Structure 1
Amino acid sequence: MKKDAAKDIKIAFFDVDGTLVDMEKKIISPKMIETLKRLKKNGIILCIATGRGPYMVPTFPGIDFDVFLAFNASYCYTKDEVIFENPILIEDVRKIVANAAAINRPISVANVEGCAANGCDKDLADYFAIGKQKVKVADDFEKIMNGKVYQLMVGCGKEEYEALLKDVDGARITAWWPRAADITPAKGNKGVGVEKVLEYYHLKKENAIAFGDGSNDIEMLQAAGIGVAMGNATEDVKAAADVICGDVTEEGIYYYCIEHGLI
């Protein structure tokens, strides 16, 4: 991106884990806080895009995000209204839960209010711990799974993906951690969320920049005018991005924004 291209950027999308937040330290750095504040001061709309549900989206001191793309953008909202929602078909939710049980994997379903699981194993517990959450095993799991479900979370490896999605047409796996997966609507991803948000603000693709590091960020980077992969991103993300910035541990976003005149 040329330095003068910064004038076209009006909105910025950020993944959380591995992008805004160092996965090892699990905290946002003072420099990243400064970056977000300066972007906001420059009139750039700030959007957080995450696999987490609304109740798990982190808050950062002094930062007021404008838009939230939760559940890998299956539920997009501002503080005042819902921009877009895309729940998984009930029949697909039921099939996925049955498929998980068949391979002895407990599973958690998520709606806007929270998560409910039918059990827990180490992989699922460790996955929730990344977001500083605990798995909630619910007595009314069946009732919740038959309501609006935006995402399912299950501990698994890649070799289990096929079994989990057996005979399921309307859902897909979006994974950013090797020991677990998020299962989301087949036609939903962070890229769709970016498109819906741009439409909401009457902005064009070239007005958007996006930062990410995991495989579930690929569509988001492609939907933005400028897709930036973190230095710590997986190779498929780097291949899909327009440019690569520094590692999250090296304040990659801060230095990228400085270099290209965004702050």
Structure 2
Amino acid sequence: MIKIAFFDVDGTLIKLGTKELSDKTEKALTKLRQNNVLLCMATGRSYPTIPHFQGIDFDVLLTFNGSYVKSGEKIIFKNPLHNEDKNQIIQNLKNMKRAIAISNENFIVTNGTDEDLAQYFAIGNETMIISDDFDKLSQNDIYQIMCAGRKEEYEKILQGTKNAQVAAWWDKAVDIIPANGGKGNAVNAVLKYYGFSKEEAIAFGDGQNDIEMLEAVGTGVAMGNAKYEVKERADVVCKSVEEDGVYYYCLENKLITEI
């Protein structure tokens, strides 16, 4: 029996670049909650920029690719970047002449912009705030650093770090998080908090940063629009987000009934 469901946001619950749930996806979430299934939003987005869907209350918010997790007002798990790694990455990116975004539970700011970083923010319908206080703000705990970056640049971006990793959901930009972070570890923390077994959990995702999450639950569902490597690591593939994959999977597998 499924007791908790984890959902990536962009490309899973909503189409990339949009803000609202489809009618069928909204109905699926509503019915799951009525069936006493806990809902967990599991996103790479920063905590200050998580979307809010009218009529849908998530029991758990798993943000920054798992580095900051809340159940109601209680913080279940938090895992900021190590200070040495944070400072090294920022310096690496400055050497690369790359615009940098940093975020924690209170803010998300950048020290500038470029085409790919601007598009990264636009995909999530997020407002880019360029701050003159970037260097000062960077001395706070930072859960995630975002920047433009291709796969061949990952090593250069992380050069000199010991406990950092890239969690990418798009091939033109990166989310940099602690090496012991990621959605999979956060899912494990949530299951432990609630006393649920792996088999009592299901997860839906489409990006590479969702793979660990899909493997941390009893049933990992890749969206039809997911990349090949995500589908290969999932237990099952459903319809795409454009085809209301979450709704039809839940309906066909009797997690919900026709509404």
TM-score, normalisation: structure 2: 0.97
In the TM superposition, 1:99-118 aligns within 5 A as: 99-118=92-111
In the TM superposition, what whole-angstrom CA distance separates every residue of 1:154-210 from its partner, at most 9, and x where no partner exists? 012112111100111111001111111000010100001110000111110000000
Q: 1-side partners of 2:152 and 2:251: how far apart?
A: 42
- Partner residue of 1:246? 239
The residue identity in structure 1 corresponding to 2:188 is E
2:81 aligned to which of 62, 69, 88: 88
Q: 2-side partners of 1:224 and 1:41: how far apart?
A: 21
Preserved contact between residue 76 and residue 190 of structure 2 (Cα < 8 Å): yes
Q: How far off its partner does 1:134 sit?
A: 2.4
1:211 aligned to which of 204, 213, 228: 204
Among all aligned residue pairs of Structure 1 and Structure 2, give the percentage whose two residues are the same amino acid: 50
The residue identity in structure 1 corresponding to 2:127 is K
Q: How far off its partner does 1:24 sit?
A: 5.3
- Partner residue of 1:74? 67
Q: CA-atom RMSD, angstroms?
A: 1.0
The residue identity in structure 2 corresponding to 1:31 is K
- Partner residue of 1:47? 40
The residue identity in structure 2 corresponding to 1:54 is Y
Structure 2 alignment gaps of length 5 or more: none
Preserved contact between residue 15 and residue 241 of structure 2 (Cα < 8 Å): yes
Partner SS, residue 25 of structure 2: helix
Q: 2-side partners of 1:226 and 1:116: how far apart?
A: 36
2:221 aligned to which of 223, 228, 242: 228
Q: How far off its partner does 1:25 sit?
A: 4.5
Q: 2-side partners of 1:129 and 1:23: how far apart?
A: 9
Structure 1 alignment gaps of length 5 or more: 1-7
The residue identity in structure 1 corresponding to 2:173 is A
Q: 1-side partners of 2:19 and 2:57: how far apart?
A: 20
The residue identity in structure 1 corresponding to 2:34 is K
The alignment status of 1:144 with 2:140, answered yes or no, reads: no
Q: 1-side partners of 2:82 and 2:158: how far apart?
A: 13
In the TM superposition, what whole-angstrom CA distance separates every residue of 1:72-115 from its partner, at most 9, and x where no partner exists? 01000022210000000111111001111111101111111111
2:249 aligned to which of 242, 252, 256: 256
Q: How far off its partner does 1:27 sit?
A: 3.1
Change (3 A) 1:151 1:24: closer
Partner SS, residue 176 of structure 1: coil
- Partner residue of 1:199? 192
Partner SS, residue 64 of structure 1: coil
The residue identity in structure 1 corresponding to 2:102 is V
Query: Could you tell which deviates more after superposition, 231-240 or 127-136?
Result: 127-136
Query: Could you tell which deviates more after superposition, 155-164 or 66-75?
Result: 155-164
Preserved contact between residue 125 and residue 134 of structure 1 (Cα < 8 Å): no
Partner SS, residue 129 of structure 2: coil
Q: 1-side partners of 2:102 and 2:9: how far apart?
A: 21
Preserved contact between residue 90 and residue 147 of structure 1 (Cα < 8 Å): no
Preserved contact between residue 18 and residue 124 of structure 2 (Cα < 8 Å): no
